[in-house]
Structure 1
Amino acid sequence: MAIVKCKPGIATAAAVCAIAAGGAGAQDAQLESVVVSASRTEQRSFDAPASVTSVSIDPLRSPNPLVNLSELLGAAPGVQVRERQNYAQDLQLSVRGFGTRSTFGIRGVRILVDGIPATMPDGQGQAATASLHAARRIEVLRGPVAQLYGNAAGGVVQVFTAAPPLAPDAPVANASIGAGSFGQREFGFSVGAGTATLGGLLDVSHYETDGWRDHSAAERRQLNGKLLWRPSAATSVTGILNVFDQPLAQDPLGLTRDQFEEDPRAVAPVALSFDTRKSVGQQQAGMLVEHKVDSDNTINGRVYAGRRQVRQYLSFSGAAPSSSGGVVDLDNDYRGIGLSWSHAAKVRGLPLRLTAGVEADELDQRRRGFVNNQGSAGATRRDEVDGASNVDVFAQADWMFAQQWKLSAGLRSSRVRLSVDDRRVTPDSPDDSGSVTYRNTSPVLGLVWHASEQLNVYGNLGRGFETPTLVESAYRQGASGPNLALSPSRSNQGELGIKWRGGRHALDLALFSARSRDEIVPFATENGRSIYQNVDRVERRGMEVSWSHDSPRFSTRLAYTLLDARFKEGYTSGAGATVSAGNRLPGAPEHSLFALLAYRPAPGLETATEMRIESKAWVDDANSEAAPGYAVFNLRAGKEFRDGPVTWYLFARLDNLSDQNYAGSVIVNDGNRRFYEAAAGRRLFVGLRAAL
């Protein structure tokens, strides 16, 4: 078992661990004192009144290409991360059934990278821009406590990248190269150096693939830079620069059930006719400041700004005068600030920690649409400036009111505004301008009983909300203009759990329930425009279990999720489809199991077998079809060896050992019934890394 001490972080209110993961790769590590940012106060994850999974990443010894989050979060219970074999649509990520309705991007789950949001104020986010080569730890927060992060926080995923070295005699240099089936090619490098007060780190990576499916080639480049300045022992300033460039990502679209069963590698014919594809460019810079006023008071601040350009070619022409076009062109400018204060005190001789802060974020989006003339942009069909902004105030108190009891209470007040300024007004396309403001207050209450040094029992309650995104509120039935009557979804959540640590074993168990009203669901599709509506009484409940064991020779991980996510009240869609009470939420399998057995026969050598089992997943609200369940096995091996000052790591992994045909993801409620995105067949990846 790896025993690692952690210290408070220098970049955010979070604390960042320097984790010596050894040969375990990117799996959960049992830690004696992990300090996390899950509940916005510095504390051990073992003591937090919440379900938190921390995944350490060793960029040298990780037995993965480090391209997608799906490689790293398999052992996190309650989390579904689906690698779609489609880089034009990003990952599908859901937590306890929140986020399953998303057909592209990520909704219902907040993403942060080094404390800077990768989720916009309207709740739309993306995970691809997080550089996993630069990452050192990923935190997944589930349950009511996540509501302290505001809009669309059905769960929270935080990525923490490496800190620059602050020592003149400790420069770092790493390089990696890898190749695999279906034309996968990857390389990257990182360099860092510093003095006692100033350090810098630069990480660059490149990945490309010909694609497992036809018409699914992709290429992406990433740069992550960090500059750390410590003018005094009490103050640290961190500058961050991120660049993401995806010049090409072909979109093979989903397949119908017949197409999927006949040839899972096939591409929908309209994808070729309209040359469906996507390009993305993003540049972002930020600064984080931490200042310890004294031993009891700490102030943290952040400021960031960025630009994201997207052009996507869809699978229809969009030539109708009332259409928004078959080519989407987005120019996004976004920015934000945040300030928080933490205070430590004692009440009746027992510790009390108070945290309070304010966050404000803003997005300006220039959205244009053009006719898709068989893969080239034609006449203009849409031209508008959309806006999204939020101003949030939050506070939290953690009080150890008795020797074995801790109470946590938090409150977040949110104001979210969406707006549309139509710049193209014609007789066929009337003025679609408008705006709407949503307000919400989310309380959270948690209690932890420290039953012993090895056992904690916790429970928490909370209320959260999720506004419509700009895309979901863009249209209303039978008329132009945004659907400003669409309400935010609100949920009441509860959780009970235990955390046990005994020697080389660790066990976490959680029971959870979330009941939503005004859930946002599809209503109809008109001329390529997706229209949404609200429905009441959606329930998500279930159980999460994770167990791990570590010894010098063997490591074992098990993660099981039972998710019962249902509509408790029926409704009828605009197309006349009937959704009955009791229907299951699409894209949310009832059972998920991950298992890992790693064996280290000799120093520096590790082999492992991975298994993932999932039950069937319904593809639409009407439960008309389901993607079959599956069981998949993977093998991997890695060998570490030294040559003078250089440490080398050679690894290989063979995924989908039995070459099974299964749906890696489903496009929920697809209007063309192209629900199925096939997972890749048997595939090999080999990589070599070096560290100086």
Structure 2
Amino acid sequence: MQKKMLKTAAAVSAALAALSSGACAEEALTTETVHVTASRVEQELLDVPMSVSVITQKDIERSNAQTVGDLLKDVPGVRVMNDGSQGMKRIQIRGEDAFRTIVMIDGQRIAEHKSMSGAPILIDPSMIERIEVIKGPASVLYGSDAIGGAVNIITKKGGTKPLEGEVSAGMNTSNSGKSLYGSVYGGAGGWTYRFSAGIEDAEDLHTAKGDVDNTAFSSRSMQGYVAYDFTPDTRAGFTLEHYDLDFQTGLQDMQASGYDDFAVNVPEWKRTKGAVFFESKNITENFVRLRADAYVQKNDKYMENRVWMNPMKMDSFADNELLQYGVSIQADWQLGDRHYLIAGYEFLYDDLEAQTNTHTRVAMGGPMNMYSRKLTENDGYQMSHAVYASMESALTDTFALNYGARYTWVSSEVTTHTGKNVTMDGSTPGEPGLTDKEKNDSSDGHVVFNLGGVWRGIEHTAVRATWAQGYRSPNLMERYIPTSMGGGEVVPNPDLDPETSDNFELGVRFTPGRAVLDIAAFYSKADDYIASFEFESNRYTNKNVSGAKTHGIEVTASYLFESGFEPYVSGTWLRRKFEEGGESTYESGTPELYGRYGVRWTGLLEGLSLRADAYAVSQSDTAQYDFDSGTTTSYGGSTHFNLTGGIGFGPQNAYSLDVGLYNITNKAYKLSTAIYEPGRYFSVKFNAKF
């Protein structure tokens, strides 16, 4: 059956490519037709003084992506890390891990204070209108954690007709995955609305090395949006969102990883958000825009972690609730003919309740066996106030200067209750009482600056240069919350300082009609990284003793011929020197070269919109050095080949069918040390709008 499906996919894609004769190419999408809000004000992409990549709604509709991480995997400078899970993927930008990347939904961040992997991306791809990926520090505009960059996910909103709708359904043989999405939306009499729901289910992952146990996932999502236009320039509204994720994490080879048994089960990770907004434009000649937002967001996570390493067996259970409150106000001002100022205030309050229950059994030989139960409860908050201002000054008709600053004040407090019961005969101890209590608090302020410019002295060309500072305040877990997840105990450090960085970039965007070229060279120096050091057997503590120096080049290039064929490449060359405790290494776990390249074709034939794409994805060898053990983990480079095709039909191409054959040669490859990526698989997706 599977062979038959693979043959069908190949035949459909080949047929689409063969139809190029006599077809008319679709209009090219260039950076001059794309507008983004990366600089907190809508701009033409050419005018933005930073590296920004955009995943459009068409990209999302035609993709087989099951998670947002899958959508971002081919963005230059971005690496997707799965940590052994299909359902929860996080991203690295320019080598910086997920802790140093802000994830936002409609400009409102998803925080995480009780995880060793960074902020989660908790939204169904079908709910998304577009994604803007800001590469390089965005701390001035978006605050702490944006050392590596920021990901802003913009959700779908209302429509222009009284009643519209869309549905989609897809399947994916890499994990027997199935998805279904439906939405009703519209607009009339000043009102706009949208109500959506989506389902995603996937079983264990199939790889070229076999199936991976404990990697299934499922999600359920709902979204509501209602807004009212009081005038053509004034709008207010609210959104409601709910995302419920159930996923597992496994390992491809437990013995090679040093485990007798290992599994992570997260039967519940829910994000529920309610938000209101108000926006008014053209208030006066100089007062261009006022925007105010407020939201409440709740993240509920329950996790079970099994780590068995002879002679120790550890089972940990974590139950976390994070309640977020956020308020932001931004005012835009046109000062004369050549100066545009945005200024704003943001308030964030993260309220955390976290409980960890750890059961440890150690076989000591003979009749002596130790069994301990440790219970930890943490109740705390992190509150921040921030003010920022960013000015764009047109010094000449062809050169604009952008400069800004942000001051952030952070206050944190956590009260920790602990208790432990131990037996030495192997019998099960009772539930420990919470006998110990410790309270910690701290506050600090930090200011960051940026300075950049864009020169547009040549038609269809923008040259940009930027210096920006990065800043990340330690989260509650790093400063105050002990954790036993992962096989050892990490002791927090209340005296940690913020992480900081200085970053430089020089880039050019060139869009002369059918061609698109975007090149960026960058360098960053980061200090005071927080790293854990072993001070006793299986006991670690956090210190500001690490740093990194990173330099590289990102390239996106394509050319659309009259025939509809478009060769393209998007890739990254990156060198990252990691420093820790007086040692340094270039074996930082990031490949030196990685990217995507191929030829796509689009055309029109007898009312049908046709497309096909033949491409490869490559990465060079990767190695990661462990400063504690002095050992290096390596995994080889890889190239895998893919073929996709699609067809749009009906009035205004309201219906579409997309198919794909991925990893055609069934290549076994890894993006991280945990598990192999999918082997050869086939996907199909149908979309309809009415």
Normalised by the length of structure 2, the TM-score is 0.83
Determine if contact 2:30/2:513 at 8 Å carries over to the other structure.
Answer: no
Determine if contact 1:193/1:200 at 8 Å carries over to the other structure.
Answer: yes
Whole-angstrom distance in 2 between the partners of 1:147 and 1:24: 42
- Deviation per residue, 1:285-344 (Å, 9 max, x gap): 1112111223432110110002111111112489x9xx9971111011111100011001
Equivalent in 457, 466, 469 of residue 460 of structure 1: 466
Whole-angstrom distance in 2 between the partners of 1:457 and 1:56: 24
Task: Report 1:58-207 matches (<5 A).
Answer: 58=58, 62-83=61-82, 86-87=85-86, 90-99=88-97, 106-120=98-112, 126-145=119-138, 147-153=140-146, 154-168=148-162, 171-207=164-200
Shift of 1:83: 4.6
Answer with 1 or 2: which has the greater Rg.
2
- Deviation per residue, 1:582-601 (Å, 9 max, x gap): x0253321111211321236
Shift of 1:146: 5.0
Determine if contact 1:75/1:595 at 8 Å carries over to the other structure.
Answer: no
In the other structure, the counterpart of 1:604 is 609
Q: Does 1:341 align with 2:341?
A: no
In the alignment, structure 2 segments of 5+ residues that lack a partner are 1-23, 206-211, 362-371, 423-434
Q: Does 1:367 align with 2:351?
A: no
Whole-angstrom distance in 2 between the partners of 1:456 and 1:686: 39
- Deviation per residue, 1:351-399 (Å, 9 max, x gap): 210110010111111110123599xxx9661111132221111001001
- Deviation per residue, 1:126-149 (Å, 9 max, x gap): 443123212121111112455431
> Identity over aligned residues, as a percent?
21
Equivalent in 676, 679, 686 of residue 677 of structure 2: 679
Equivalent in 339, 359, 363 of residue 352 of structure 1: 339
Shift of 1:166: 4.0
Whole-angstrom distance in 2 between the partners of 1:433 and 1:251: 33
Equivalent in 541, 544, 556 of residue 551 of structure 2: 541
Q: Match of 2:442, as an amino acid?
A: V
Cα pair distance change 1:175/1:544, threshold 3 Å: closer
Whole-angstrom distance in 2 between the partners of 1:279 and 1:535: 35
Cα pair distance change 1:94/1:677, threshold 3 Å: same
Cα pair distance change 1:254/1:236, threshold 3 Å: farther
Whole-angstrom distance in 1 between the partners of 2:28 and 2:445: 37
Equivalent in 685, 688, 691 of residue 686 of structure 2: 688
In the alignment, structure 1 segments of 5+ residues that lack a partner are 1-22, 100-105, 261-267, 573-579, 667-675
Q: Does 1:300 align with 2:276?
A: no
Whole-angstrom distance in 2 between the partners of 1:488 and 1:341: 29
In the other structure, the counterpart of 1:4 is none
Shift of 1:282: 1.8
In the other structure, the counterpart of 1:506 is 516
In the other structure, the counterpart of 2:262 is 271
Whole-angstrom distance in 2 between the partners of 1:596 and 1:256: 36
Equivalent in 592, 595, 601 of residue 593 of structure 1: 595
Shift of 1:162: 1.8
SS of residue in 2 equivalent to 1:32 = helix
Whole-angstrom distance in 1 between the partners of 2:85 and 2:96: 21
Determine if contact 1:50/1:145 at 8 Å carries over to the other structure.
Answer: no
SS of residue in 1 equivalent to 2:493 = coil
Determine if contact 2:493/2:543 at 8 Å carries over to the other structure.
Answer: no
Whole-angstrom distance in 1 between the partners of 2:536 and 2:517: 50
In the other structure, the counterpart of 2:664 is 657
Whole-angstrom distance in 2 between the partners of 1:511 and 1:646: 39
Determine if contact 2:254/2:260 at 8 Å carries over to the other structure.
Answer: no
Q: Match of 2:323, as an amino acid?
A: D
Equivalent in 274, 296, 303 of residue 285 of structure 1: 274
SS of residue in 2 equivalent to 1:639 = strand
Whole-angstrom distance in 1 between the partners of 2:490 and 2:151: 36
Q: Does 1:399 align with 2:389?
A: no
Q: Match of 2:641, as an amino acid?
A: F
In the other structure, the counterpart of 1:386 is 380
Determine if contact 2:490/2:539 at 8 Å carries over to the other structure.
Answer: no
Normalised by the length of structure 1, the TM-score is 0.83
Shift of 1:517: 1.3
In the other structure, the counterpart of 1:556 is 567
Whole-angstrom distance in 2 between the partners of 1:313 and 1:527: 23
SS of residue in 2 equivalent to 1:438 = strand
Whole-angstrom distance in 2 between the partners of 1:147 and 1:628: 38
Q: Does 1:414 align with 2:408?
A: yes
Whole-angstrom distance in 1 between the partners of 2:202 and 2:233: 46
Return 174-183 or 462-471, whichever deviates more.
174-183
SS of residue in 2 equivalent to 1:663 = coil
Return 393-402 or 277-286, whichever deviates more.
277-286
What's the RMSD between the two structures over aligned residues?
3.3
Determine if contact 2:376/2:419 at 8 Å carries over to the other structure.
Answer: no
Whole-angstrom distance in 1 between the partners of 2:382 and 2:554: 35
In the other structure, the counterpart of 1:669 is none
Determine if contact 1:282/1:307 at 8 Å carries over to the other structure.
Answer: yes
Shift of 1:409: 0.6
Shift of 1:536: 4.6
- Deviation per residue, 1:244-274 (Å, 9 max, x gap): 112x3122146468479xxxxxxx65236xx
Equivalent in 495, 501, 505 of residue 485 of structure 1: 495
Task: Report 1:603-682 matches (<5 A).
Answer: 603-622=608-627, 624-642=632-650, 647-666=654-673, 676-682=674-680
Cα pair distance change 1:312/1:282, threshold 3 Å: same
Cα pair distance change 1:480/1:626, threshold 3 Å: closer
SS of residue in 2 equivalent to 1:77 = coil
Whole-angstrom distance in 1 between the partners of 2:573 and 2:230: 50
Whole-angstrom distance in 2 between the partners of 1:394 and 1:367: 32
Whole-angstrom distance in 2 between the partners of 1:394 and 1:590: 35
In the other structure, the counterpart of 1:327 is 317
SS of residue in 2 equivalent to 1:133 = helix
Cα pair distance change 1:494/1:191, threshold 3 Å: same
- Deviation per residue, 1:530-555 (Å, 9 max, x gap): 53222254201111111122346223
Determine if contact 2:32/2:46 at 8 Å carries over to the other structure.
Answer: no
Report the number of matched residues.
Answer: 623
SS of residue in 2 equivalent to 1:532 = strand
- Deviation per residue, 1:17-73 (Å, 9 max, x gap): xxxxxx999x994143433222223321101111111221228x8332342223322
Q: Does 1:518 align with 2:505?
A: no
Shift of 1:618: 2.2
Q: Match of 1:632, as an amino acid?
A: H
Q: Match of 1:656, as an amino acid?
A: N
